[in-house]
């Protein structure tokens, strides 16, 4: 995890808690860790709401039938078809 620890007139100082090193980023520059898209682990299906499950299905190209409306039924459908 990278934390901002200070600000200087010419830039910002960050501390990387995993690598145990500091970085100085000049004003106007973008840190390399901010320019890369964050890698997000998808939530387990059981932790998603029904709306999120439908969005997940759409992203995966899965069409959920209209008669599958209960959360557990949607989860079972996704596991069987995705």
Task: Give the tens place of pLDDT for each residue, 25-67.
Answer: 999 998 887 766 656 667 899 999 999 999 999 988 999 999 9
Q: In angstroms, rounded to a whole number, what is the distance separating the alpha carbons of residues 80 and 82?
A: 6
Strand order in the sheet with 2-8: 2-8, 11-16, 21-26
pLDDT, residue 37, reads 62
pTM of the model: 0.51
Q: Where are the alpha helices (DSSP H) in the chain?
A: 32-35, 50-59, 71-81
């Amino acid at each position: 995890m990278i934390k901002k620890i200070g600000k200087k007139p010419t830039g910002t100082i960050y501390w990387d808690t995993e690598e145990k090193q500091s970085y100085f980023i000049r004003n106007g520059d973008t840190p390399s860790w901010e320019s890369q898209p964050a890698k997000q682990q998808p939530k387990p299906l059981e932790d998603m709401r029904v709306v999120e499950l439908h969005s997940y299905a759409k992203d995966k190209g899965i069409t959920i039938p209209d008669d599958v409306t209960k959360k557990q039924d949607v989860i079972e459908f996704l596991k069987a078809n995705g």
